Amino acid sequence: FNKTRSYSKPGCYKAMLVIWNLVSRVVLFAPVEVIEAITKAQLKAVHSKYSAQPGTAGRGLAGKTFPLEYPVSFAVTTDTGSCLRYDWFYGDFSALRNVSSHVTSHAYPLPGSYDVEVNINNSLGEHNLRLSIALQYSVMGLYLTSSGHGKPGENLTLFVFCLSMGNNSQFVLDSGEGYNITIGNSQNNTFAKAEKRFIDQNINLPFDPSDYYAIAYRHVYSSEGVFKAQVWGWNNASQQSARTSVVITKKSVPVLLVRLIGGKKSLLNITSQLYGKAFTLSTQVEILSNERHSVKFKWRVFKADSYHFSMSSSQTQLPPESGREIR
């Protein structure tokens, strides 16, 4: 029995032959390789699916700097080539050999520069591609709050908290008046470990400040109004921002006591909820005043997915807030 087949395009195929009669049946397979030479092969590195911007290039001038906290994805593209096999060398003495996938991801144990190499081959030849990437600790967990309302001409303190300051990071604050103030960087000890005893008890934080670094910036607002303060922190691997509203008025403003009911301040050890079951969050506010006041609530909902690989610290790493906010 013979059969002639013309394939319309190159590729690796599996031919199947079925032989049967009334009492039996046999299925046979045979690999068929329609080989095409490799041309114009390229290697690129992108953010992995675990990061906040999956599939995008890295940061820095060459777009090849990535956060250490997440794996890096690598992909090979070719104009032509079939039945390809790949040998991946990640630059940290790890390798993945003789695989058919043109895409791979790798988590690195330490910050620094790494030379990644891939060998692409089939029976008509091979190509070797190289790429250099850099890994840095990224800015994570940035948070901004104020010591409360203030009056024009008086000092008001803005507190900036940061869980991970990253490598060679810069931090800039806009008090809401339209100009930026450099408040420090991660190299000169501008930030210090936050301690509960140094923080105003009227400031309600959604985290344990002892896990964070903090800096206090004193600012004087010259006029009344509601100011949208914002802080940015960035390095070659990441960029984060946080914001808060500051009320400046000559009028005495009552102290608001706001409680979140139904949730927890920490994402660690939180009770799991059954998928598909309704889960209610509500707030409770107490206003100590003899006057009438209107209160507006704005909810922000975040994904709490985390990524943590065994060679990193024992602390769970959360994705950047900009990548987790869903509502």
Q: Dihedral sign, CA of 98, 103, 109, 114?
A: positive
C-alpha separations of 110 from 90, 113, 137, 224, 319 in Å:
13, 9, 9, 49, 18
Residues ≥6 apart with Cβ < 8 Å to 24: none
State the pLDDT at residue 87: 97
- Three-state DSSP at 222 gives coil
Three-point CA angle 179, 185, 190, nearest 5°: 100
Nearest to 141 by CA among 48, 216, 246, 233: 233
State the pLDDT at residue 324: 58
Residues with pLDDT less than 50, the chain: 266-268, 307-317
C-alpha separations of 59 from 47, 115, 134 in Å:
10, 17, 10
State the pLDDT at residue 302: 64
State the pLDDT at residue 50: 80
State the pLDDT at residue 292: 79
Nearest to 34 by CA among 9, 60, 57, 15: 9
Tokens of 247: 């009320």
State the pLDDT at residue 103: 96
State the pLDDT at residue 175: 93
State the pLDDT at residue 201: 64
CA 297 – CA 162 distance, rounded (Å)? 24
State the pLDDT at residue 112: 92
